[in-house]
Amino acid sequence: MRILVMGDIHGAYKAVLQCLQRAGFDYERDRLIQLGDVADGYDEVYLCVEELMKIKNLVSIRGNHDDWFYEFIQTGIHPQQWEQGGKATAISYLRLKGQEPLTGEESYSSITVLDSAAIPHSHQQFFASQRLYYIDDENNCFVHGGFHRQVPFTQQLAYTYYWDRSLWMAALSYEAFNRGNSKKSRFAMATPFTTVFIGHTPTLHWKREQPMEAANVCNLDTGAGHGGRLTIMDVHTRVYWQSDPVNTLYNKSWR
């Protein structure tokens, strides 16, 4: 069994299929750890969830966009009023009842409400069962955003795991400070991990469409939600596969 990790999806179903196919992913034998933000962005969130649920050994991590959608499922109220890419999520579920709005930009402005009862029960369970983090047998940590490294890992506030960016920024600063130094000091964490795999902060901010590593933190958000690529990586070999640029798959960017 291979163990693979996938970055932020943001409704890009076509990119999900490309990554799984290019990695030769075995739906019955391989394990996929998906780092969150399945929801919001492109308007195929429903299809993304359907595909992920086909994977026997799936570990699904909660992202901040997933948390917003899960709040809607629970309360009927979307905390961002369907902004931040949420309108595309609504469209993907409105299609199930033949309620898809007009195509094009008008479709985004015409959405005002989606009945939470329209979300299939299996999808409600999918978002309810997402984990805040996952730690494997080799002490690798998989989390959407990050955490405060000076605080013991299990003592973090829940939202920290899918909102934090301080870990990644500290890892980048660590690498910059120690560049060219053969005797690096240890990148300290209150709870040490072998490698921490994150999403949430697109590598496009550093003009990179490839995964980035700094200290023992590996960033898999290669910008699928910003028109960049979706990435899937073999946890052990660090070999990775990517989709085509998502903005070419959909001929648009939602940002």
pLDDT at 106 (0 to 100): 45
* Residues spanned by the domain of 234: 3-250
Residue type, 27: Y
Tens of pLDDT, residue by residue over 204-235, are 999 999 999 999 999 999 999 999 999 999 99
3-state secondary structure 153-171: HHHCCCCHHHHCCHHHHHH
Does residue 103 belong to any structural domain of this protein? yes
Does residue 41 belong to any structural domain of this protein? yes
**Residue carrying structure tokens 């984990």:** 131
Does residue 79 belong to any structural domain of this protein? yes
The CATH number of whichever domain residue 178 belongs to comes to 3.60.21.10
pLDDT at 194 (0 to 100): 97
In eight-state DSSP terms, residue 218 is E
Helices (H), the chain: 13-22, 45-52, 64-75, 86-94, 105-110, 121-128, 160-163, 166-177, 246-250
Number of domains in the chain: 1
Determine the Cα–Cα distance for residues 27 and 19; give it in Å rounded to an integer. 13
Does residue 255 belong to any structural domain of this protein? no
CB 208 within 8 A of CB 222: yes
pLDDT at 247 (0 to 100): 93
CB 94 within 8 A of CB 101: yes
Ranges of residues in the chain whose predicted pLDDT is under 70: 99-113, 180, 182-183, 252-255
Does residue 219 belong to any structural domain of this protein? yes
Determine the Cα–Cα distance for residues 176 and 179; give it in Å rounded to an integer. 5
Q: What's this model's pTM, rounded to 2 decimal places? A: 0.93
pLDDT at 48 (0 to 100): 98
Does residue 122 belong to any structural domain of this protein? yes
